[in-house]
Amino acid sequence: MKPEKKRKEKHFKALVAGILSLALALGSASTIFAASSAAFKLEEATIADVHRAMEAGELTCRSLVERYLKQIELYDDQGPSINAIIEINPYALEVADALDKKFAKGGLSGPMHCVPVIVKDNYNTMDMPTTGGSLSLKGFMPYKDAHVVKKLRDAGAVILAKSNLSEFANGTTTYSSLGGQTRNPYDLTRIPGGSSGGTGAAIAANMGLVGLGTETGRSVRGPAAYNGLVGLVPTEGLVSREGIIPLSDHLDRAGPITQTVEDAARMLDIMAGYDPEDPISVEGYGHIPDTYTKALVKDGLKGARLGVLRQGFDPGTIGTADTANPEVLELIEQAIKDLEALGAVIVDDVGAGIDLNEYLSLPGVPYQQKTGINAYLKKYGQFAPVQSFTDIAYSGLIDPNLEAGFRRSAADPETDPESLEFYRGKYNKRLLRNVLTQIMAEHDLDALIYPYNINVAQKIGETMDAGNRFSPNSGLPAIVVPAGFTKDGMPVSLEFLGPAFSEFELIKFAYTYEQATKHRKPPASTPVIE
């Protein structure tokens, strides 16, 4: 167990013991813990479930937060040792108490009242360090929250903990020098996806109610898909990236990772919107509905035209795999049949004759990580533990697997924003967006469908077999939703991709499919102790 986690666990146990002693002395222990009774089922709870229980007097914010902290205590370092959490918010219970007082006076304080959120540790948080999973930034305390984090707090959320990630969001395995290796709760020998794998594993294991991820390549959809969750990546420009450690200015996006489509919609309601500190967010103006929850209808697939993008089934297009898992393909074919049975019009093999690999291989470079991190660190000056990307590269405090690449980037002028390669990357991302949009227009489609990946999560230490790149390399919105499990109990996911700013429609399609099929089930390795 990490010394820092040992300290926090000791502090938490002492705090709980003190609360118990005080309660017993006052003869009120039963009152304090009444909300932790079997009247409220924590496993697979939704935001709406939490709010209904609070309004019925079955749950307090303190008791809810305590129960999620208990899940972390039982399963993150101990038991299966999921290792998803880097930092627990030391003020979480104080925030919970304050929210209980607000509730007693006037009911729910906002749409996210007492929603415990797991935040990927590349989002700035003013009450916890922000490290990118790197020892080089250990203990770094930004002076304010990331824009999205602040919006969630203002809506009543409890920022419960920071989650592990692939260091500085590089990669798909969720290994970092600070956090180590996160495990998949469905199979402890496998990765949870990345780079937001800590968030994915934590939400799957019921260590928090909802989570925040970021995506440059596959980093929201992958952890969601590999952990039997819902992952939504919005159109580029819908959600601010301000206060997030950058990887690529023209590819980075922020999105929710949740157990249900409903909670993803509720999260997007809060996250979407203009932020003057992220100029690209102006592109979302006029594209945000009053609430995405109006898309939560059970007949949302009737008449929807969905195109099956068969190139998304091709090992030559998906990751590095030479073959596809036949169980995965079988489950996706069944999902297509289910969509049709629910009223969708299926148009098969759209885009045939167009080699999408021509476009997929180009926008990935350069990532501009050097320029982005330099600008990020400059904001904090002497308060940052390092002053530049070069300092990080030569610190000796990063994942050794990243060190050589970081040092090359530190010296490479083509990683600068003025480079020809940068503009070539942006240009080809636009080309892919245009091609996918054209495919949808030619067939009068509402969305494209395909598997997130044609294989399940890889074993820890195996060669990377990552998922598809249609959404990140185009900036178009996508949502993954559980489509079943293999015989070995590994999650499989269906992906919907739509035109720019079609999040409302994608949520509608995914919700209808989710509610009709009910594929989501929690991992056996982390049962909730009710």
- Pairing state between β 210-215 and 158-163: unpaired
Cα angle 282, 285, 289; round to 5: 145
- Is 30 exposed, middle or buried, given 0-12, 13-18 or 19+ CB atoms closer than 10 A? exposed
> How many angstroms from the chain centroid is the CA of residue 392?
25
Q: Decide if 54 contacts 104 (C-beta within 8 A).
A: no
Question: And the tokens for 105?
Answer: 């006076």
What is the DSSP secondary structure assignment for residue 117, as one 8-state letter? E
H-run or E-run covering 136: none
Cα separation, 200 vs 144, whole angstroms: 25
Active site residue 36: no
Active site residue 195: yes
Q: Decide if 47 contacts 209 (C-beta within 8 A).
A: yes
Task: Please name the residues in contact with 378: beta carbons below 8 A apart, sequence gap of 6 or more.
Answer: none
In sign, the C-alpha dihedral spanning 493, 499, 504, 508 is negative
Number of CB atoms found within 10 A of residue 313's CB: 19
- Is 315 exposed, middle or buried, given 0-12, 13-18 or 19+ CB atoms closer than 10 A? middle
Question: And the tokens for 504?
Answer: 């409302």
Cα separation, 36 vs 33, whole angstroms: 5
Catalytic residue, from 163, 219, 493, 525: name it.
219
- Pairing state between β 447-451 and 305-308: parallel
Question: And the tokens for 363?
Answer: 């926008």
Active site residue 219: yes
Question: Which amino acid, 309?
Answer: L
Catalytic residue, from 5, 36, 109, 120: name it.
120
What is the DSSP secondary structure assignment for residue 37, as one 8-state letter? S
- Pairing state between β 180-181 and 158-163: unpaired
Catalytic residue, from 36, 163, 177, 195: name it.
195
One-letter-per-residue 3-state SS of 404-432 = HHHHHHHHCHHHCCCCHHHHHHHHHHHHH
In sign, the C-alpha dihedral spanning 236, 242, 243, 248 is positive
Phi, psi of 338 (to 5 degrees): -65, -40
Phi, psi of 257 (to 5 degrees): -125, 120
Task: Please name the residues in contact with 307: beta carbons below 8 A apart, sequence gap of 6 or more.
Answer: 347, 348, 350, 351, 439, 440, 443, 445, 447, 448, 449
Annotated active-site positions, please?
Answer: 120, 195, 219
